């Protein structure tokens, strides 16, 4: 008896540490689209701090790891933390939340519900609950809040104290207006108008130069699909457009960055305040995909490697060898650091000597072997019929190794040319002078000869 009591006393503080962390709130059916927007709130109701870095979130019969996204992995007494299926998207929906956020891969069941559990680093179940869609919070912006051992529908309050449950807010479903006339009081029910639900359907990540499919969904007052009205899109890169209906479209981001796509809806075109708004964040990265080899797994094989830290979708990318082309199938995803080997039986490529990888918009992102592009000399014709605009910047760059030497040489050439011309002028002048002097000398000699002949007298 005393042994059992002693063991129980030793076990009690350990239990108080681990049993204090509980699942406190569940957002399993988000208003609008569920993709990457579901989350779980946990709370440390114990008296001791708990480090959750090695804990697991059990869902769909799988143990999901907890990757710290923001905050501290140590949860103090009374503190909250969020387990989100996509922390970036969660912060778009809930930008004011400052609680610790863990990243975990899961997708909650909207139809029948399921069993969820928290497991400590030793694999022991710390808290386990089972929720059901019959408890409420079915796509109406509400969540399931813990109340003792039960979960009931209430306001969503991630990272904070649970809001009022449905039972406590029955009066919120319909407001009342009371008027008094004499000794009688009249109570008039005023119906609450539910708001529209608008959401953007877009990928979380995208690649520069690769089109992505963008769509949106909107639920009307009766939760029916609603796609007609005035919609105003902003793509986050300075471009925007308006349409009178929701329709899917492809969009290409030309530069890397994190872009916030926005969508506003208004019943009237010139409304200052939209009737519904939504936004989504897309992280656009450079296409760090290279052709790492050809013919390595047999003639015609092509190896493509993802050297980035994110997965890349290769749908409709083109592999080209000479006049041969192969278009990669839709939904082909290459994980970070992994290599994809294209079988020649699939690509029908043969006799490979060089291969290029081209994104759907036509840009070449990789070639094998790597081509070395030599700078080309640019010759600009300066005829009267073609003028070079002064505001045109050439994309070619031809470096001058030593411009000072080049300029000095040009100046020396000019001086040399001037010196040569003066020399030729002097020589020409000397020749002409010599010719004139010679002519005058010869003429003088002839005159003297005639004088001597005239003075000569013949005698018999």
The secondary structure of 385-443 as a DSSP string is: T----TT---S-----S-HHHHHHHHHHHHHHHHHHHHHHHHHHHHHHHHHHHHHHHHH
Answer whether the bond into residue 352 is a cis peptide, omega within 30°: no
| Angle in degrees, CA 51, 56, 58, rounded to 5 | 145
The pLDDT confidence band at residue 27, using thresholds 50, 70 and 90, is very high
Q: Residue 127 — φ and ψ, nearest 5°?
A: -150, 140
Edge-to-edge strand list for the sheet holding 115-119? 62-65, 56-59, 115-119, 125-130
Q: CB of 306 within 8 A of CB of 288?
A: yes
- pLDDT for 411: 45
According to the 3-state scheme, what is the secondary structure of 332-343? CEECCCCEEEEC
Q: CB of 379 within 8 A of CB of 400?
A: no
* Residues 149-178, mean pLDDT to the nearest whole number: 65
Return the exposure string of 107-120: e unless at least 16 CB atoms fall within 10 Å of the residue's CB, then b.
Answer: ebebeebbebbbbb
The span from the CA of 304 to the CA of 296, in Å, is 12
CB-hemisphere CA count at 13 Å for 65?
5
When the pLDDT of each residue in the chain is averaged and rounded to a whole number, the result is 76
Condensed to tens digits (0 to 9), the pLDDT of residues 229-261 reads: 788 899 999 999 988 877 888 898 989 999 999
- Residue 154: exposure state from Cβ atoms within 10 A (0-12, 13-18, ≥19): buried
Contacts by 232-239, CB closer than 8 A, 24 or more apart? 232/263, 232/264, 232/265, 232/266, 232/274, 233/261, 233/262, 233/263, 234/260, 234/261, 234/262, 234/263, 235/259, 235/261, 236/260, 236/261, 236/262, 236/282
Condensed to tens digits (0 to 9), the pLDDT of residues 369-424 reads: 865 444 444 444 444 333 433 333 333 333 333 334 343 444 445 445 556 777 78
Ordered domains of the chain (ranges, CATH):
2-167 (no CATH), 197-285 (2.60.40.10), 289-368 (2.60.40.1260)
User: What proportion of the chain, given as a percentage, has pLDDT over 90?
Assistant: 23
Q: CB of 176 within 8 A of CB of 189?
A: yes
The span from the CA of 142 to the CA of 157, in Å, is 9
The pLDDT confidence band at residue 3, using thresholds 50, 70 and 90, is very low
* Residues 212-219, mean pLDDT to the nearest whole number: 84
**Close Cβ partners of 105 (under 8 Å, ≥ 6 residues apart):** 64, 85
Q: Look up the pTM and report it.
A: 0.38
Say if residue 81's pLDDT is above 70. yes
Q: Give, for 59, the enclosing helix (H) or strand (E).
A: strand 56-59
Structural tokens at position 315 = 């749908």
- pLDDT for 150: 86
């Amino acid at each position: 008896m005393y042994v059992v009591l002693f063991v129980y006393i030793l076990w009690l503080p350990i239990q108080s540490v681990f049993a204090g962390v509980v699942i406190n709130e569940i957002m399993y059916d988000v208003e609008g689209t569920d993709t990457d927007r579901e989350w779980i709130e946990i709370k440390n109701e114990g008296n001791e701090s708990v480090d959750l870095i090695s804990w697991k979130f059990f869902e769909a019969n799988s143990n999901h790891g907890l990757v710290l996204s923001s905050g501290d992995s140590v949860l103090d007494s009374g503190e909250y933390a969020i387990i989100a299926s996509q922390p970036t998207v969660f912060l778009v929906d809930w930008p004011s939340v400052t609680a610790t956020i863990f990243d975990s891969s899961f997708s909650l069941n909207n139809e029948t519900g399921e069993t969820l559990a928290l497991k400590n680093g030793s694999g022991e179940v710390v808290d386990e609950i089972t929720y059901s869609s019959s408890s409420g919070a079915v796509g109406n912006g509400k969540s399931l809040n813990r109340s003792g051992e039960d979960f009931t529908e209430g306001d969503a309050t991630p990272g904070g104290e649970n809001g009022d449950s449905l039972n406590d807010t029955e009066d919120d479903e319909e407001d009342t207006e009371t008027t008094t006339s004499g000794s009688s009081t009249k109570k008039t029910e005023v119906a609450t108008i539910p708001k529209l639900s608008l959401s953007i359907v877009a990928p979380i990540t995208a690649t520069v130069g690769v089109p992505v499919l963008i769509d949106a969904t909107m639920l009307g007052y009766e939760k029916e699909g609603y796609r007609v009205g005035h919609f105003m899109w902003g793509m986050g890169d300075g471009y925007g457009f308006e349409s009178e209906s929701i329709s899917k479209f492809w969009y290409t981001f030309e530069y890397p960055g994190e872009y916030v796509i926005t969508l506003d809806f208004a019943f009237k075109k010139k409304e200052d305040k939209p009737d519904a708004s939504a936004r989504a964040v897309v992280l656009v990265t450079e296409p760090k995909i290279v052709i790492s080899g050809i013919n390595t797994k047999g003639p015609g094989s092509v190896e493509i490697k993802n050297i980035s830290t994110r997965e890349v979708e290769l749908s409709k990318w083109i592999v080209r060898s000479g006049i041969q082309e192969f278009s990669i199938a839709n939904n082909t995803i290459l994980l970070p650091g992994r290599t994809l080997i294209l079988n020649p039986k699939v690509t029908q490529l043969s006799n490979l000597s060089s291969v290029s990888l081209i994104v759907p918009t036509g840009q070449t992102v990789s070639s094998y072997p790597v081509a070395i592009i030599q700078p080309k000399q640019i010759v600009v014709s300066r005829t009267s019929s073609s003028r070079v605009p002064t505001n045109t910047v050439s994309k070619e760059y031809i470096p001058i190794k030593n411009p000072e030497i080049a300029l000095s040489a040009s100046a020396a050439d000019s001086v040399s040319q001037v010196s040569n011309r003066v020399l030729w002028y002097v020589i020409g002048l000397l020749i002409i002078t010599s010719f004139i002097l010679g002519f005058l000398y010869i003429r003088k000699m002839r005159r003297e000869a005639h004088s001597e002949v005239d003075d000569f007298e013949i005698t018999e």
